[in-house]
């Protein structure tokens, strides 16, 4: 199954904040033997977010969406998800209980009794309004949950806050609770060499021949102009099913020897 990532927020696209979700999600997936298939960034624009979600909801991918689920004027993700699904927003009963728990916690920390009817607390409950029929994602940091919707055949999108301290444990909870059956089920191997002073165009026929012979292997090439410590080179490698990777790697080395290429293992 393919995993995708959506990161929402003007502050990321403007450079005001640096995105930390992408490398962390890659790390969390890799630690479980999984792999990110795609990622997409969007600003706080309702029409664009809605368009992205409409496309996602038509597919079967497992998607994490980070950001925009609060209740301030620049938070649009909940509304966009509802629009993309053509469903109304509704206060989720479990989310209501969790938000009220948070309201009580904050009040008691200040030595007060919670006033659930206060205008600011009524506004906080909007963070529990999700597309009708959504499930909630627990938030261990402050109890205010995210939400998820299913789509396609086995696909689902999980909406979490933009704050890493909340988003990351929530994503881990989803992975460990919903998808542990996928962990490490597809063994993978990667082997590569640094090839010095060769053009990619020279190596392309070899790469194509390897992929044609070994369908469970992908060949990759990462060229570098070099620096003060390393000459111009290409990181050339194969990755995929371990049994085919070993044979493909041997074929790759034989092919490089045929070019009299200079290389060293990575």
Confidence at residue 149, expressed as pLDDT on a 0 to 100 scale:
98
Same domain, 204 and 147: no
Same domain, 219 and 156: no
Same domain, 94 and 156: yes
Instruction: Give whole-number Cα distances, 177 to 155, 164, 181, 183, in Å.
Output: 15, 19, 9, 11
* Element housing 2 (H / E): none
pLDDT tens track for 64-80: 999 999 999 999 999 99
Same domain, 115 and 77: yes
Confidence at residue 151, expressed as pLDDT on a 0 to 100 scale:
97
* Element housing 109 (H / E): helix 93-109
- Mean pLDDT per 10-residue section of the chain, whose length is 266 residues: 95 95 97 94 97 98 97 95 98 97 93 91 94 97 97 96 97 97 84 95 96 96 89 95 95 96 95
Same domain, 170 and 220: no
Same domain, 74 and 146: yes
Same domain, 242 and 112: no
82, 89 Cβ separation under 8 angstroms: yes
Same domain, 127 and 9: yes
pLDDT tens track for 132-164: 999 999 999 999 999 999 999 999 999 999 999
Q: Per the structure block, which two tokens stand in for 19?
A: 């995105």
Same domain, 199 and 86: no
Single pTM value for the model: 0.85
3, 29 Cβ separation under 8 angstroms: yes
Confidence at residue 258, expressed as pLDDT on a 0 to 100 scale:
94
CA-CA distance, 264 to 104, in Å (whole number)? 62
- CA-wise closest residue to 134 among 77, 61, 73, 74: 77
Domain count along the chain: 2
If 0-12 CB within 10 Å is exposed, 13-18 middle and 19+ buried, where does residue 73 land? exposed
Domain of 204 in residue numbering reads as 189-265
């Amino acid at each position: 199954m393919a995993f995708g990532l959506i990161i929402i927020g003007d502050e990321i696209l403007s450079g005001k904040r640096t995105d930390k979700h992408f490398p962390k999600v890659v790390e969390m997936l890799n630690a479980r033997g999984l792999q990110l298939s795609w990622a997409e960034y969007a600003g706080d624009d309702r029409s664009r977010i809605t368009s992205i979600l409409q496309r996602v909801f038509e597919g079967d991918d497992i998607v994490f969406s980070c950001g925009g689920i609060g209740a301030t004027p620049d938070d649009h993700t909940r509304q966009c998800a509802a629009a993309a699904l053509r469903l109304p927003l509704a206060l989720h009963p479990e989310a209501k209980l969790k938000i009220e728990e948070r309201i009580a916690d904050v009040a008691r920390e200040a030595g007060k009794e919670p006033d659930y009817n206060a205008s600011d607390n009524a506004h906080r409950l909007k963070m529990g309004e999700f597309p009708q029929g959504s499930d909630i994602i627990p938030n261990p940091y402050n109890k205010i949950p995210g939400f998820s919707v299913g789509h396609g055949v086995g696909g689902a999108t999980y909406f979490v806050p933009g704050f890493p301290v909340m988003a990351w444990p929530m994503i881990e909870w989803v992975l460990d609770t919903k998808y542990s059956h996928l962990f490490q089920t597809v063994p993978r191997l990667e082997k590569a060499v640094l090839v010095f002073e060769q053009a990619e165009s020279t190596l392309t026929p070899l790469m194509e021949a390897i992929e044609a012979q070994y369908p469970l292997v992908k060949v990759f090439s990462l060229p570098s102009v070099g620096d003060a410590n390393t000459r111009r080179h290409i990181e050339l490698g194969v990755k995929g099913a371990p049994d085919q990777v070993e044979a493909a790697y041997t074929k790759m080395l034989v092919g490089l020897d045929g070019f009299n290429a200079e290389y060293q293992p990575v």
